[in-house]
């Protein structure tokens, strides 16, 4: 059976629409899955430390008032208000307390593994390796 040109013209936009919907559905699912994996990874990373271990974290914020509240509660090791983050060095229990507030405060927290390892070496009296 032959198809006429108008029928072919009508079918092409529908195919593009279906592809676009599928693309955005896949993108949304990937983002949601990635966020869940990131949260799980942070929790798992914290479990590698003892309760009194010092951990260095980077706290990203979008609200300056929130950043100032965090700075009053936990003294930042470094403040980069213009870049939207604070660097904190706290015991695991304090980091866990901060993580309990992350959704409420609208912040993201990541562990700085290199800085944490450097601090651990310093506490053990070992000089950290020099960066090249």
| Distance (Å, whole) CA 3 – CA 57 | 63
For residue range 36-67, what is the model confidence (pLDDT) as tens digits?
444 456 777 788 888 788 999 999 999 999 99
Of the pLDDT bands very low, low, confident and very high (cuts 50, 70, 90), residue 33 is: very low
| CA dist list (Å): 50 to 17, 59, 120 | 52, 21, 12
- Dihedral sign for Cα atoms in the order 5, 9, 14, 16: positive
Q: In this structure, are 70 and 100 located in the same domain?
A: yes
Q: What is the pLDDT of residue 86?
A: 97
What angle do helix axes 5-47 and 92-105 make, rounded to 10 degrees?
150
End-to-end Cα, the chain, rounded Å: 71
Q: In this structure, are 61 and 114 located in the same domain?
A: yes
For residue range 106-123, what is the model confidence (pLDDT) as tens digits?
999 999 988 888 888 887
- Residues 81/113, Cβ–Cβ less than 8 Å: no
What angle do helix axes 92-105 and 64-73 make, rounded to 10 degrees?
160
Q: In this structure, are 39 and 100 located in the same domain?
A: no
Percent of the chain scored above 90 by pLDDT? 44
| Distance (Å, whole) CA 100 – CA 121 | 28
Q: What is the pLDDT of residue 129?
A: 73
- Whether 94 has a pLDDT exceeding 90, the answer reads yes
| Distance (Å, whole) CA 23 – CA 55 | 39
Q: In this structure, are 43 and 97 located in the same domain?
A: no
Give the residue numbers spanning the domain of 131. Answer: 50-132
- For tokens 């260095």, name the residue: 56
Q: In this structure, are 39 and 77 located in the same domain?
A: no
Q: In this structure, are 117 and 57 located in the same domain?
A: yes
Q: In this structure, are 44 and 109 located in the same domain?
A: no
What global pTM score does this model have? 0.64
Q: In this structure, are 65 and 128 located in the same domain?
A: yes
Q: In this structure, are 43 and 54 located in the same domain?
A: no
């Amino acid at each position: 059976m032959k198809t006429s040109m108008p029928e072919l013209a009508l079918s092409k936009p529908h195919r593009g629409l279906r592809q676009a919907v599928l693309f955005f559905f896949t993108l949304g699912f990937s983002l949601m899955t990635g966020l869940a994996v990131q949260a799980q990874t942070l929790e798992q990373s914290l479990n590698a430390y003892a309760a009194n271990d010092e951990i260095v974290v980077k706290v990203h914020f979008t609200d300056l008032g929130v950043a100032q509240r965090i700075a009053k509660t936990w003294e930042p090791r470094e403040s980069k208000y213009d870049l939207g983050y604070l660097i904190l060095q706290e015991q695991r229990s304090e980091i866990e307390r901060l993580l309990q507030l992350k959704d409420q405060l609208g912040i993201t927290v990541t562990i700085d593994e290199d800085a944490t390892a450097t601090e651990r070496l310093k506490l053990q009296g070992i000089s950290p390796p020099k960066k090249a």
